[in-house]
Amino acid sequence: MASYISSSSLSTVNHVTVALALLLVVFTGSSSAKLSTGFYSKSCPKVFSTVRPVLINALSKAPRLGASLLRLHFHDCFVNGCDGSVLLDDTASTKGEKTAGPNNRSIRGFKVVDDIKTAVEKVCPGVVSCADILAIAARDSVVILGGPNWAVKVGRRDSKTASFSDANNGNLPPPTFNLTNLISSFRAKGLSTQDMVALSGGHTIGQTRCLTFRDRIYNETNIDSSFAKLRQSTCPRNTGGRKNLAPLDIQTPNHFDNKYFKNLLGQKGLLHSDQELYNGGSTDSLVKTYSNNPKTFSNDFITAMIKMGDIEPLTGSSGEIRKNCRRAN
């Protein structure tokens, strides 16, 4: 039997077709705004090869900067997403994130970011965001210091504002957190317990101030006595030495490896939050796995870094591409 479509039915079909087409455009646009490893393949194909030499030069002079840049990316992503807001200086009308409690006199590496941005702007002005520069610099720092390599997803845009209050309100887990707090803090950002432990392995590079570990080396019992005495020699109990530095990884502080986890097995975690990962809790087995299998740690670290870089990025027409990472356009 032949089928016939009335003019009114045809009109309905056309409207449905148009609606579906519009939906397709919307979803296609949304998809194209997502982060991808090839986002700059046409607009700035030399971005990665431009960033790497600047970092090699900086880390050859001060290897500690590698940990600083990795930490900058982390502190950026955990406060309102990976949007470069942590890089903004205070203005006459707004107070940014740099002087918030978890960041004040603690985060560093801004000059290197400035140098990278200057180099990238010469190659392709107004194209690459500061948020993406942080993500690329974090990856390259890990690689330069002997760690694993991965393809960085890019396409983030920069926030026009920063929030002092949001950087202060518990988004950034302090070194005093216990295991339950750590797990909850990372879960709130869409990261699993495994991601949290793997990302903590970033403490295999870098240093921290006496102020952050003083209580642990004098008052906690789950710490190797000789290790505690070593740290006490440069971190007095009551006065002075607040800014004195100690490596988070006592064995290879300038090399990205799995020694951090080996230290935890020997109760040589410098921060309270470090040793919480191996203190009779649910993450003990994972610490043992990473201490025995560096490949597993590397793979899980890569997975966690990519997931962290996906936290609430600005894409599409949101935000802007800053010309200077320290201030909005």
Q: What is the pLDDT at residue 28?
A: 35
- What is residue 243's DSSP assignment? T
pLDDT tens figures, 98-126: 999 999 988 999 999 999 999 999 999 99
CB 170 within 8 A of CB 270: no
Q: Residues 6 or more apart from 284 whose CB is under 8 A from it? A: 277, 278
Between CA 144 and CA 115 the distance in angstroms is 17
- Spatial distance between the Cα atoms of 151 and 37, rounded to a whole number of angstroms: 6
**SS percent in the chain: helix, strand, coil, step 5:** 50, 5, 45
For residue 285, give Cα distances in angstroms to 196, 291, 300: 14, 10, 14
Residues 6+ positions from 261 with CB-CB distance below 8 Å: 201, 278, 287, 288, 290, 291, 297
Q: What pLDDT sits at residue 293?
A: 98
Task: Please tell me the predicted confidence (pLDDT) of residue 5.
Answer: 35
Report helix, strand or coil for 195.
Answer: helix
For residues 322 and 64, what is the distance between their CA atoms, to the nearest angstrom? 27
pLDDT score of 33? 61
Q: What is the predicted pLDDT for the residue at 241?
A: 87
Domain map of the chain by residue range?
A: 47-168, 179-309
Give the percent of the chain with pLDDT over 90: 85
Burial group, residue 109, by CB count within 10 angstroms (0-12, 13-18, 19+):
buried
Spans of the chain below 50 pLDDT: 1-32
pTM higher than the cut 0.85:
yes
Fold exhibited by the domain 179-309: Peroxidase; domain 2 (1.10.420)
pLDDT at 97: 94
Task: Determine the pLDDT at residue 93.
Answer: 86
* DSSP 8-state assignment for residue 44: -
Q: Which residues are catalytic?
A: 75
Q: Look up the CATH number of domain 47-168.
A: 1.10.520.10
Q: What is the pLDDT of residue 94?
A: 87
